[in-house]
Homo-oligomer: A and B are copies of this chain.
Amino acid sequence: MAVVTAIAVAGLPEVGEGDDIAQMIVASGAAFGDADIIVISHKIVSKAEGRTVALADVVAGEQALELAASTEKDPRVIEVILRETAVLVRAERNVLICRTRHGFVCANAGVDASNVGTADTLVLLPREPDSSARALRARFRELAGCTPAVLIADSFGRAWRNGQQEVALGVAGLRPLEDWRGRRDGSGRELSATWIAVADQVAGAADLARAKDSREPAVVIGGLGRYVSAEDGPGAIALLRPAAEDLFG
């Protein structure tokens, strides 16, 4: 009987620029092994990587000032969002829906003002989340003598449904998708539409193991060794659907 488990890592200190997150998780005494997945909130990764912006240093440009008039946002916040944005998908009701330079479609290009230590500091998404995940995984290998998979997560809104769900921004050593299309089910019928977003479901499962205000930005997922690989694999970029192929968006 396979059991999937999700356990939050307790006792992590506040993370700042230059901090060694893998070392902090190892030092916390969290138990994990090669078949486990360590899910880490992108915010601490971004903070460790210095991907923050002090609002006081930002000067809003023309487009930001225009959008500020219609969205009630601080024009400097919009300026930062636009810098992270490849395509502005929609701008309405105080929310900008953006396709980021990475290719993620999300509110405010993933720029976040919550859970930051200093007021008026914005946290951006990691520059290359798959690279961040691979670097974290390599560091676990060095420090812990085992090589868990690493997943960097953020919470995104979705089309048509209320609430946010955690998704994978970056992964290393985790198969992001499981493709059953063309395979047969128990009765011999083709599982034509079954293509499972494993990494996003792992991110969501991890989110359930912690409370948002409990400062538990890392969660260990066990029981999913079948999705964990020795090689780092394609990364979470495999989850991004090219805009031209999108039917839902």
Contact = CB atoms under 8 A, between A and B. Distances in A.
Interface of A: 1-8, 10, 90, 92-93, 95, 97, 99, 104-105, 107-108, 112-117, 119, 155, 157-167, 176-177, 180, 183-187, 189-198, 200-202, 204-205, 207-209, 212-215, 223-224, 238-241, 243, 246-249
10 contacts: A3-B6, A6-B223, A107-B193, A160-B246, A161-B167, A161-B239, A183-B213, A196-B212, A204-B204, A205-B208
Contacts of A249: 159-160, 248-249
A247 B92 contact: yes
A7 B6 CA distance: 12
A152 to B, nearest CB: 15
A5 B224 CA distance: 12
Contact of A162 (B10, B92, B190, B197): B197
Given A158-B159, A185-B213, A165 B3 contact: no
A122 to B, nearest CB: 11
Nearest to A108: B193
Contact of A205 (B6, B113, B183): B6
Given A97-B248, A205-B205, A1 B6 contact: no
